[in-house]
Structure 1
Amino acid sequence: MLAAATMKDGLPFNLDDLINMRVFESNRIDFKATWDKPIKAAVIRTICAFSNDLLNLNGGYVVLGIEENHGMPILPPRGLEGFNLESIQKEIRGTCKRIKPEYQPILFPVHYQGKPILIIMAPGSENRPHQAPDDVNQKGSTYEYYVRQGPETVEAKWELLTQLLELAAKTPFDDRRNLEAKVENLSPILVRRYLHDIRSDLVADGARFDDRDLYQRLRLVAPINAHEVPRNIGLLFFNEDPDQFFSGARIEVVQFGDDADGDLIEERTFRGPLPQQIRNTLEYLNSLGGTLIQKIRGQAEIERTVPYPYEAMEEAIVNAVYHRGYDGPPEPVKVYLYPDRMEITSYPGPVAGLQNKHFEPDQNIPQVPARNRRIGEFLKELRLAEARGTGIPKIQRKMRENGSPAAQFDFDEHRTYFRVILPVHPRYQVLHALREAAHLWAVGEKANAISHLERAFERQPSSGALASQLIEYSFGFGKSELAYKTLSKFEEQLVKSEPSHPYLTMARLLIDRSRVKEANEVLGRIPLSRTINDTVEAAILMKKTNDYAGAHHLFAEAYTINPDDPKIIHEFAQTKMKLAQNLWKKSHIDAKKRLNREAAELLRRAIQLAEDPVREGWCWFDLARTLDWLRAPYSEVEAAYQKALSFIHDEPRFLEGYKKFKNKVRK
């Protein structure tokens, strides 16, 4: 029988990963530095505990020849030099016959870092619960049930014993024999690919194992009536279409254009071995989004956000595949994509012992037996799943790091389903609504575009981007009252994104329609907390409404923040020139001179900083006009005009201004 055998060549797992506990949980590994009678007694108790597999983790491993410190291996290993490994193995096999009912682990004598060690693999048993002597070295020692509790082997008493006895002869569905399938239904190509992915030496160069041998070493087959049949785990992982054996063993992704009653945009079904389903689904989901990049003022770094953090999606999809039932109901894992969220639903709901409150933030999820023990083990070795109890906290942590709202988890009273809800990042929800509305507007469905934005704005009334677009489309459709209503609702929000944008959009649209007085009123309500770009845009709009005093105030504010931006400097100078032009009384002459001198100084600075030839040409033209008014020497004014023309030689306003200057001088 395979379970009683010694495997001298080829491990069905990666030895380095096992010893360093990279994909194996600490409560599934027990290190022993050497071999003696007390260690033998402890090892037999631990083998018994692993065989009982209380949490359905598929047992565990005892490593002889490596010392531990607080559960961590001390390397390089001490090794079992000076011991006869064949004798130790015979002693273990003989002593394990005293476990009731008899249970035999699988033994692997190997070398690690040049030292001989012995790996004892004790998978979860089909015949649990098992008992072992309290001390195999003592005659008449009492028999007890043992289980693993954390990294320790303990006697199963009271509640632990009750839980263990409830598992009597209950084999998790994924580890059961499948009497409807044949060994030929397993794909040797998929098996070898898996072993290659986990870096097993069963497929290393020079290794010669036939397909049946690999199946046995991975425990993918089991004997029945003088022949072998595949276990369910083998069909789930190593058949091209598990759905033909387990109805619903697939993932369906459905994308909706709006909420549940909205139009279906696309539907995709992912079949194949479970790892392939997971990878293909994640690749598809990741392709639907993108990365939103935003430069943060005052920082060298840029801020990157995604609609859903990949790690959160991965954990949710993997958990759905891992913890769902494959013996019914015949429903696939469902991933529903709405504009504001992703829902991952698996069937049935969680196992007994888990309650809704356990999935609330900052709650610890209790240790309960898993529904599937082999699926989790294989996914962990492929690095698709992590240690038990870490998935939910990781989802919440990754959502938080992305700036996304917290994930939600729920299931019904009868535990018919389990659902994970990942809210989309708020910026992406806005982006989706804007894209949909833009498409509708472009194809002529303008009323639908406005209705779509109204629904989105109802959900996120604090979004300045949504409010701005709704205001613009409302004006474009002749519904200015809706634009004012939108601005008022936005104004009521205590916390806003893009807080200045709706005011700027409204003012611009009013100016375009010659409703200058209304535009000035809107600009007067613009929030004080605004970006420098919004401040500059507001100042430019005020210039267009001839509110040069208001524009001057805002340009002064922007110039204080960024005195090296040629656009700000040039606009600031032009505003001073306009203010000077409006001063016509004799009593204003000093103020007029000061404003023009300040304008000239700003224009010279803008010329020094400008990299755009068009901007530089206009700065020279404005400087020429200012110098002319200040009665600067003729040569200085003419030089400024000529500089302007050297940048834009055919600009009519430059030519006209220079001509007037020359004619005035002749007179």
Structure 2
Amino acid sequence: MYQPIVSPEVVDGKHLLVIWAPGSQVRPHQAPEHSGKGAQRKYYIRIESSSVDADSKPELKTQLVQLTARVPFDDRRALQASMLDIRETKVREFLHDVGSGLVEEQDTRSLYRSLRIAEPVNGHDAPRNVGLLFFSQNPEQWFPGARIEVVQFADDAAGNMLEEKAFEKRPIHEQLRECLTYLESLSARLIQKLPRTSKAAHWVSFPSLALRETLVNAVYHRSYEGTSEPIKVYLYSDRLEIISYPGPVPGIEQTHLDGRAPIPPVPARNRRIGELLKELRLAEGRGTGIPKVRRSMTQNGSEPPRFDFDADRSYFRVTLPAHPEYQAILAIQDVANLRAVGDNSGAMRRLKEAHARHPSAVAIAIELVKEQLVRDDIHAAEEVYETVRKANPTANLAAIITQIAAAYLDNNRQKDATAWLDRLPMLDAVEEAFDAAIQEKRAGRLERAHSYFKAAGDAVATDVKALHEFAQVKMKLAEKVRPGGPAGNKGAYLRQLREAEEMLRRVVQMDAPRTRHAWAWFDLGRVLNWSRAPKQEIRAAFEKAVEIDPSEKRFQEALGRLDREGHAG
């Protein structure tokens, strides 16, 4: 006869009857078919919201008997230990953390019994396994393998180990929390502004929720009986693996893990461990862990998680792929290190490998294109663009487009350059807008260059190169509408000159290389000359350009014409 624990309680002035159904020492139990006299007793299995006669599901009945024919390991008495092995301070810390009223219980024996971590045996109390796992100083003393190991591997074919760290000699929930903090400290975070919006995209190498759910599940569902293997966390450059032993309980199949079928409500291997983890709000126990992992990876922009186990169910492994851009960052760091030691061929090889492995990663593609253009291989750069465009159709590839256009302009192939510039999307990222504007200016498409500078907004005023280039665009646009010409427009002419003058006066006051200052003073002299400013102001600008760079003949020639003809041309 099964006897639950019944406790009358008062909560917020309301009387409640709380019923606990702890694990029975003589499972499984039968229940009568109906409430009438002489009813036949049967086994029942809970399937979703229904209680089903086990005789109608013989395969599930067999598993039921196997799983419940004995007390779960975490709820058994630990006769090899004594009550002195449970640390009362850790018990009370736990009760304080979960906000339990049991923390006020002064009698230690009553406290342990109420928490169900001790059980009477022949006139004395013995600890239960769950009590040793959560409240002893070193659970591994009784349960070999009750620890978590984290290993980081280098991104090389040799599989060299970078660092190994073990979380051990403390209760399993403390191991869990410390390991989570450690793993989260290793996870990179990036905030990236989204095009054409004020919003930003946030991603991390491994989402915190996915890390937590997978590691909690490993602690919750592994076996602490008959295996000395610890929980293993392997951290590679492109993935994180969490492995626990053994595999899932009977009833859980690959289709449930892949999301092709709902997870069945099979009995948990460690019911009491799950209860205490739920009290700590580390676990939920409603079959939501795997869907949460899958959802958090999708929301982060990562590839889906993978769950697998072998035919003998000797292990269970969860693989979390690293975010693609995180993998790109690591590849680029490797490339920088190879370049620093002069291994340029190795850097190119690493870039090609990374691009082949992650064709959708824009950062890798940008670096590879840059390297190919240094080698004057424009065709190869174009192939990279096409590959990443197909793999990542929504990506902003402006940085690649402007690089290729610039290479064509360097080779005096303006038609090819403008064809590439025509592919540019609408830009609002400052660096992309700057690059696009400069290449459009080189291609002679001044109106487009002007629009890109405008798109960059106030940021232009703080970038000395962009501000100078923008001023030169305005000067060229002024030349197009010079009075007396075919498109003459005096108002537009003077407005462009006035705005160019304001920009150039700011450039000569900003921190910049001497050559930049020299050309800015020269351009200011030309603008003042076109605006019919006093000759003294024009002369002062040209003289400043000559003073900074006396070797530049054009500065000297402009100053000479001003003296001879009264204007600088």
| TM-score category (smaller protein) | 0.7 to 0.9
CA, structure 1 residues 374+518, in 2 after alignment: closer, same or farther (shift >3 Å)?
A: farther
Provide the residue aligned with 2:495 in structure 1: 601
For 2:433 and 2:44, locate their aligned partners in 1 and report how far apart those are by CA, in whole Å. 72
For 1:646 and 1:242, locate their aligned partners in 2 and report how far apart those are by CA, in whole Å. 83
TM-score, normalising length: structure 1: 0.71
CA, structure 1 residues 600+257, in 2 after alignment: closer, same or farther (shift >3 Å)?
A: farther
Which secondary structure state, in structure 2, belongs to the residue aligned with residue 590 of structure 1? coil
Range with bigger deviation, 568-577 or 285-294? 568-577
Cα distance per residue 1:344-393 (max 9 Å; x no partner): 11111111111111122353111212111111111111000113210111
Is contact 2:153–2:161 with CA below 8 Å preserved after alignment?
yes
Q: Give the C-alpha shift of residue 633 in structure 1.
A: 3.7
Is contact 1:604–1:623 with CA below 8 Å preserved after alignment?
no
Range with bigger deviation, 146-155 or 408-417? 146-155
Provide the residue aligned with 2:284 in structure 1: 386
Provide the residue aligned with 1:110 in structure 2: 9
Cα distance per residue 1:106-148 (max 9 Å; x no partner): 2323221123333222212121123456788x76666555665
Q: Give the C-alpha shift of residue 613 in structure 1.
A: 5.3
Which secondary structure state, in structure 2, belongs to the residue aligned with residue 178 of structure 1? coil
Q: Give the C-alpha shift of residue 661 in structure 1.
A: 7.2
CA, structure 1 residues 135+576, in 2 after alignment: closer, same or farther (shift >3 Å)?
A: closer
Q: Give the C-alpha shift of residue 430 in structure 1.
A: 0.5
Amino acid across the alignment from 1:196:
H
1:58-457 correspondence runs (5 A): 99=1, 103-131=2-30, 143-145=41-43, 158-159=56-57, 163-204=63-104, 207-210=105-108, 212-258=109-155, 261-271=158-168, 272-361=170-259, 363-457=261-355
Amino acid across the alignment from 1:371:
R
Cα distance per residue 1:593-619 (max 9 Å; x no partner): 66x975652343466689955478988
For 2:309 and 2:67, locate their aligned partners in 1 and report how far apart those are by CA, in whole Å. 24
Q: Give the C-alpha shift of residue 229 in structure 1.
A: 2.5
2:406 matches 1:529: no
CA, structure 1 residues 151+262, in 2 after alignment: closer, same or farther (shift >3 Å)?
A: same
For 2:484 and 2:197, locate their aligned partners in 1 and report how far apart those are by CA, in whole Å. 44
Q: Give the C-alpha shift of residue 652 in structure 1.
A: 5.5
Which secondary structure state, in structure 2, belongs to the residue aligned with residue 344 of structure 1? strand
Structure 1: unaligned runs, 5 residues or longer: 1-98
Is contact 1:178–1:229 with CA below 8 Å preserved after alignment?
yes
Is contact 2:450–2:470 with CA below 8 Å preserved after alignment?
yes
Is contact 1:464–1:490 with CA below 8 Å preserved after alignment?
no
Cα distance per residue 1:467-498 (max 9 Å; x no partner): 3323445677xx555x8535423434414445
Which secondary structure state, in structure 2, belongs to the residue aligned with residue 517 of structure 1? coil
For 1:434 and 1:234, locate their aligned partners in 2 and report how far apart those are by CA, in whole Å. 49
Q: Give the C-alpha shift of residue 278 in structure 1.
A: 1.3
Provide the residue aligned with 1:555 in structure 2: 449
Counting aligned pairs with the same residue, the percent is 41
Q: Give the C-alpha shift of residue 571 in structure 1.
A: 3.0
Structure 2: unaligned runs, 5 residues or longer: 511-516
Is contact 2:150–2:165 with CA below 8 Å preserved after alignment?
yes
Amino acid across the alignment from 1:268:
K
For 1:615 and 1:510, locate their aligned partners in 2 and report how far apart those are by CA, in whole Å. 34
Q: Give the C-alpha shift of residue 523 in structure 1.
A: 6.8
Amino acid across the alignment from 2:233:
V
For 1:340 and 1:364, locate their aligned partners in 2 and report how far apart those are by CA, in whole Å. 29
Amino acid across the alignment from 2:129:
N
Cα distance per residue 1:226-281 (max 9 Å; x no partner): 43332211121112222222222111111122166432221111112111121111
TM-score, normalising length: structure 2: 0.82
Amino acid across the alignment from 2:526:
R
More relative contact order, 1 or 2 (CA 8 Å, 6+ apart): 1
Amino acid across the alignment from 1:525:
W
Is contact 2:404–2:420 with CA below 8 Å preserved after alignment?
no
Amino acid across the alignment from 1:188:
E
Is contact 2:522–2:545 with CA below 8 Å preserved after alignment?
no
Is contact 2:135–2:171 with CA below 8 Å preserved after alignment?
yes
Tell me how many residue pairs correspond in the alignment. 544
Is contact 2:500–2:527 with CA below 8 Å preserved after alignment?
no
Which secondary structure state, in structure 2, belongs to the residue aligned with residue 441 of structure 1? helix
Range with bigger deviation, 502-511 or 224-233? 502-511
Provide the residue aligned with 1:663 in structure 2: 563
Q: Give the C-alpha shift of residue 310 in structure 1.
A: 0.4
Which secondary structure state, in structure 1, belongs to the residue aligned with residue 188 of structure 2? coil
Match of residue 590, structure 1, among 485, 489, 514: 485
For 1:376 and 1:115, locate their aligned partners in 2 and report how far apart those are by CA, in whole Å. 28
Range with bigger deviation, 113-122 or 400-409? 113-122
Provide the residue aligned with 1:626 in structure 2: 527
Is contact 2:369–2:384 with CA below 8 Å preserved after alignment?
no
For 2:533 and 2:335, locate their aligned partners in 1 and report how far apart those are by CA, in whole Å. 58
User: What is the aligned-residue RMSD (CA, Å)?
Assistant: 4.1
Cα distance per residue 1:415-462 (max 9 Å; x no partner): 121111111111111111112222333344444433332321221234
Cα distance per residue 1:52-72 (max 9 Å; x no partner): xxxxxxxxxxxxxxxxxxxxx
Q: Give the C-alpha shift of residue 184 in structure 1.
A: 1.9
